[in-house]
Amino acid sequence: MSATPWAAPFAPSPVTATVSVPGSKSITNRALLLSALADAPSVITGALRSRDTLLMADALRTLGATVVNDGDNVIVTPGELHGGEVRCGLAGTVLRFLPAVAALAHGEVWFQGDREARSRPMGTTLASLRALGVKIIESGDGSSPLPFAVVGEGRVHGGEVRIDASESSQFVSGLLLAAPRFDEGVTVVHVGPAVPSQPHIEMTVEMLREAGVEVDVSFNRWTVRPGPVRGRHWSVEPDLSNAAPFLAAAAVTGGEVRVRDWPVTTTQAGDQFRTVLADMGVSVEHETHTGCLVVRGDEGGRLNGITWDMHDIGELTPTVAALCALAHGRSHLYGIAHLRGHETDRLTALESELTNLGCGVTQTDDGLVIDPAPLHGGLWHTYADHRMATAGAILGLVTEGVRVEDISTTSKTLPDFEQRWSQMVGV
């Protein structure tokens, strides 16, 4: 944790800037994993280099792949998978994607994580592997399976497995990504309430298909056929969820922010932030001639309150909640009960921190009701959660005296956030 809280820059005038954001964490980590399972070396261009992606790269090296940085490229050469110790940090993509890969290794693969990772739901991942015949060793204290080991035997038979993935789409993606290397592939059937963050599963399916893997999809059912994962060139899009705070800066200050290289089509959930902003009364334009997404805030930064089902875009909730706290009128964000199992309990964290700055917040069974009120400065706690940190930065643009407890937690997915933010604000 940072020794001194970060003084969030205050913007005395509308923010006007053109910004670039690094590559998508979700795409980068999927590309790294698929490249490690491929039949030939792969090259990844535009890969994000952050704590989460470095943890993934180190984990794959531990398991036997060669991952080399070469300028703007990352070169991944598959190798024979073997046992070792994987350090997951707080990265859900490492914690939930790699156990299925570890089952293909020869030997025990032990998984360790940050203290906060012990509160992240993991039972479905381990139960699904056990249902497929994989041996798991749990040595946790009962409140969490961490640390645990996957006992790899070099192969997994595969077949159909029924799971409840209502706590995280990563339970589905983790099985699908390794499934081409299973003897019979895998069919994942979801039974339970709706799976959250469906765009992330769509991303997984699209990337598997791009690697030459046959995938069939129907309602709550995904089948990956066994076969080779092709080594290829991956080009990583900018991380649209990480772009959201910068776009929000235009909305709350009545300014104009352009984000470079916004994709025309994408499976990233962050793309839906455009629609949220439009509903709040903000001008949003995708300039085809420049490739920029341009957000222009209303004069004075006026925002409308909204009622939004955030189920598929839960990762945007801290950013959207910050905007709602500055809006005119009540907002209701719902469909996000699963956020209680993210890096922190995001619903409780948002309720606590927004209330601390003077906003009216009521937590519901599956969301938040936000009643704006004049905000004041104060210490904004981050709970080791990168998106809580950036939400505090947004509020600080128009609320003097906001101090963010641990801004360094943004390194999880957005290196140098402080410098990028200060440069945008012009301080």
Cβ proximity of 9 and 248 under 8 Å: no
Reference 378, options 5, 3, 13, 1; nearest CA is 5
Per the annotation, does 120 bind a ligand?
Answer: yes
The one-letter code for the residue type at 43 is: V
The one-letter code for the residue type at 40 is: A
Q: Omega before 78 cis (within 30°)?
A: no
Q: Is 214 a catalytic residue?
A: no
User: What are residue 69's DSSP bridge partners?
Assistant: 74
Per the annotation, does 387 bind a ligand?
Answer: yes
Per the annotation, does 170 bind a ligand?
Answer: yes
Q: Distance between CA atoms of 285 and 295, rounded to whole angstroms?
A: 7
Q: Distance between CA atoms of 42 and 83, rounded to whole angstroms?
A: 23
Cβ proximity of 180 and 224 under 8 Å: yes
DSSP 260: T
Q: Distance between CA atoms of 290 and 213, rounded to whole angstroms?
A: 34
Check 202, 237, 315, 351 and give the catalytic one: 315
**Which residues 6+ apart lie within 8 Å of 163 measured at CB?**
124, 127, 128, 171, 172, 175, 188, 189, 190, 191
User: What are residue 293's DSSP bridge partners?
Assistant: 259, 286
- Give the rounded distance of the alpha carbon of 293 from its chain centre: 21
β-pairing verdict for 331-334 and 307-309: parallel
Per the annotation, does 30 bind a ligand?
Answer: yes
Per the annotation, does 315 bind a ligand?
Answer: yes
Per the annotation, does 61 bind a ligand?
Answer: no
Question: CB atoms < 10 A from the CB of 289, how many?
Answer: 5
How many Å from the N-terminal Cα to the C-terminal Cα in the chain? 24
Binding residues for 3-phosphoshikimate are 25-26, 30, 168-170, 197, 315, 342
| Residue numbers annotated as active site | 315
Binding residues are 25-26, 30, 92, 120, 168-170, 197, 315, 342, 346, 387, 412
Binding residues for phosphoenolpyruvate are 25, 92, 120, 170, 346, 387, 412
